[in-house]
Every structure is written in C-alpha cells, then in structure tokens.
Amino acid sequence: MTNRKEHILYRLWKDPIAKSGLFIVGLACLVAILGYAISPDSTKNANSMHLPLAAKKPGFSVDLLLIPFEDGDYEKHWSFFGVDPQFEEIPVVSHRIENDLLFYTPYVGDGMVAPENSVPLKNVGIRPYETDDFIKDKTFWLGTDRYGRDMLSRLILGTRISLAVGLISVFISLLIGIPLGTLAGFYKGKVDATIMWIINVIWSIPTLLMVIALTLVLGKGFWQVFVAVGLTMWVEVARIVRGQVLSIREKEYIDAARVLGYSNFRIMWKHILPNALSPVIVISAANFASAILIESGLSFLGIGAQPPTPSWGSMIRDHYSYIILGKPYLALLPGICIMLLVLSFMTIGNKLRDVLDVRTDV
C-alpha cells in the first residue's frame, strides 16, 4: 500500500486529470488576485462603456480620444478595487490639429459617417499616460459586450465573483455544519433528534428555491448572495460530520480518553473531529463547485450580483440572444469559464476522495 504520509498535493499532481484541475484553479486564483493589474480596463467593474463599439468581434481595434475630467489627477496608478475614470474616452476614426484646436471624426459604426468635431488643445493637453498624448490605440482582444465594454476585462473580474462566492459560501457551511454535526453525533438522544429535525426540514426545501427566498429576504447584492448560498449548504456538511462522529465515538481510544477524565469538549475537538474531516474536505470541493453554479444561476435570473458588477451569470443573461444573432461567443465565453472552473473543482474533489480513502490504494 502506498505510504499514506505522502503529501496530498503531490499525489493529486501525479494524476493528469487532477493536475489539469489544479492548474485551472490555480490560474483562476492568480487572475482573481491580480484582477485590475492585468485587466485592460482598470476602472471599477470594468464599466467603461462605448456604445458605438457594442458587440464588436475579438481583435477589434480603434483609436480613443482622451479628454481628462476636470477633477481627475491624471496619474497612472493601480488599485485592487479599481480606479475611478480619469478621462472621457471617445472612439475616433481620424484626427488632426490646426492652430489651438483638435479636430476629430467620431466613430459611430461600420459604414457610417459622422460630422467632424473639434476641441481646444488645452482640454487634452494633460497626459494621462507617460507615452501617450491624447490619442491611444486600443485593441479589444475578446471583443466588446452589448454596451461596448471590454469583454476580456469583464471575464477577468468575473473570476473574482465566482471564487469569492465559492470560498465564503463553503466557509459559512463549515462554520455551521461542523459544530452542529459534531454535537448531534457525540451526544445523540434529544440533541441528535433536534438537530436532525432541523436538517431534514431544510433538506426537504429545493436548494435554488431556498437561495431565492433568502436572497429576497436579505436583499439583492454581492454579499447577500454569499450568505444565502452558504446557509443552504451546511446541512450536507452536518450530516457527513454526524455520521463520522457516530462511528469514531465508539473507538477504543475515545473510551480511553473518557477514562483519563478528559472533558467532552476536548474529546470532540481534539480526538474525534480531526479524524472526521477527510470526507468534509471532499464535500467542500463539491460545494465550491455548486456555489459557483448557484451564483451564476441567480445572476442569470437577475437576483445575484447586481450590475455593473461583472458576473459570468449576468454576462450570459445579457448576451444569450446573440447566440442566434451571429455572435454566440458573447454568451459562450462566460459559459466556458463557468464550465472549466466547476469541472476543475469536481475533478479535484473526486481525486481527493480517492486519496483520503484509507481503503483505496492510490
């Protein structure tokens, strides 16, 4: 039998499927952390709209005229939570300078002609970038959405939402499920009956219906979704912990701990619970994937993360009609991101089940 002390991550890395899942999850975490640092649009929520550039194909390039706002500092800087827009961006077809005026022809769409406009040079004389004056060429590598926002930037920031809802929801489920499951399995009797009654009641309510109800009670928003999803996942954790505790509490070393006069609290948290966490780790990976799917579903229904917060589910909702309008990638790109991330967590969870199962030689 393989040495059980071998590092879990190393054993996961030996499996090619689990390795792919770890790579995708690690890449998603890196993208979420860097966020605005690698996003082409560093404004808050990547919400810079250019309506004339709506639904442009990947690789589309255009010149943008930069007109600073009067209250802007016009310094290039980065923030973990994004920066406020420092200047107005106007897509232009051409521009020229005469005397103290900048003449430009705004971009209004393919095959359409707009009249030439002008702006005093003093209004564009402050340099928002070190190497640009007042015109910059911008390429939208994954195209633009229906509002002319950069699709790549929205997808990058949407990674934060999905990982955050999974992480916080799983944390809430563990925070509630582990203590209740431990108490039910250790004390049994009336304590077990009461906790199991609560679990069965919540278990009988469809998950999506429960999340929708909690979301309506707590309100629509970013944090409300996290709490709502977490409050629906603890029952499965509690049931698994209870079953493990019921089995472990009958072991000889637990009887020895009682004979030595250890308190029930010490027996539960230092002798039983550490030996009952292996299946909890596995179910947490599955719950992480489920939380991502639930959040995406809620955002698709319009009761998840609210605009302009970039969520993969809301991006699918905004663009699913484009599937039959010749631009299906607008809905498929966020859908592929959801599929890859959920599949990665599920494959990691399946391999963890094998690695942590003492009856399996892996």
More confident: 139 or 99: 139
Same domain, yes or no: 293 and 332: yes
pLDDT score for 149 = 95
The band of 209, judged by pLDDT with boundaries at 50, 70 and 90, is confident
266 within a domain of the structure (yes/no):
yes
Query: Taking residues 256-260, what's their average pLDDT?
Result: 89
Q: Tell me whether residue 37 is in a domain.
A: no
Closest CA to 287 of 159, 165, 160: 165
Report residue 38 as tokens.
């690698």
Determine the pLDDT at residue 229: 85
The verdict on residue 44 lying in a domain is: no
pLDDT of 15 reads 84
Task: Choose one of 147, 177, 204: the last residue of a domain.
Answer: 147
**pLDDT above 90: percentage of residues in the chain:** 46
- pLDDT reported for residue 49: 92
pLDDT of residue 5: 44
pLDDT 10s digits, 57-113: 999 999 998 887 765 555 556 678 888 888 888 999 988 888 778 888 999 887 777
- Portion of the chain with pLDDT greater than 70, in percent: 91
Give residue-wise pLDDT tens across range 280-339.
Answer: 988 999 999 999 998 898 889 888 888 889 999 999 999 999 988 889 999 999 999 999
DSSP state, 309? S
- State the average pLDDT for the chain: 85
What band does 125 get if pLDDT is binned at 50, 70 and 90? Answer: low
218 and 70 belong to one structural domain: no
Same domain membership, residue 254 and residue 220: yes
Final residue belonging to a domain, choices 147, 179, 200: 147
Q: Give ∠ CA 315-50-86 in degrees, rounded to 5.
A: 105
Q: Which one of 88, 118, 147 terminates a domain?
A: 147
Per-position DSSP letters for 35-94, written without gaps between them: GGGT-S--BGGG----GGGTTPPTTEEEEEEEEE-TT--------TT-B---EEEEEEEE
For 299-310, how does the pLDDT look when each residue is reduced to its tens digit (9 = 90+)?
898 888 888 899
Model confidence at 14, pLDDT cuts 50, 70, 90, reads confident
What CATH number is attached to the domain comprising 192? Answer: 1.10.3720.10
| 181: in domain | yes
Q: Is the pLDDT of residue 119 over 70?
A: yes
When divided into structural domains, the chain yields a total of 2
Per-residue model confidence (pLDDT) at position 156: 96
The side-by-side arrangement of strands in the sheet containing 60-68 is 117-120, 101-106, 87-98, 60-68, 135-140
The answer to whether position 329 is within a domain reads yes
pLDDT at 362: 43
Give the DSSP H or E segment for 106.
strand 101-106
> Is there a single domain that holds both residue 157 and residue 94?
no
The answer as to whether 40 is a domain residue is no
* Domain contains 49: no
What's the pLDDT score for residue 130? 40
Asked whether residue 124 carries a pLDDT value surpassing 70, the answer given is no
Q: Which structural domain range is residue 84 located in?
A: 61-147
Residues 224 and 300 both lie in one domain:
yes
One domain, residues 74 and 213: no
18 and 77, same structural domain?
no
Per-residue model confidence (pLDDT) at position 325: 85
The model's pLDDT over 144-203, given as tens digits with 9 standing for 90+, comes to: 999 999 999 999 999 999 999 999 999 999 999 999 999 999 998 899 999 999 999 988
Q: Cα(134)–Cα(257) distance, rounded to whole angstroms?
A: 75
Which pLDDT does position 2 carry in this prediction?
A: 45
Residues 208 and 340 in one domain: yes
DSSP string, 171-240: HHHHHHHHHHHHHHHHH-HHHHHHHHHHHHHHHTS-HHHHHHHHHHHH-SSHHHHHHHHHHHHHHHHHHH
The reply to whether 181 and 129 lie within a common domain is no
| 236 and 131 both lie in a single domain | no
Looking only at the bridges linking them, the beta strands covering 117-120 and 101-106 are antiparallel
Q: Are residues 156 and 72 in the same domain?
A: no
Structure-block tokens of residue 144 = 């633009």
What's the pLDDT at 306? 85
Residue 295 lies in a domain: yes
Please check whether residues 167 and 135 belong to one and the same domain: no
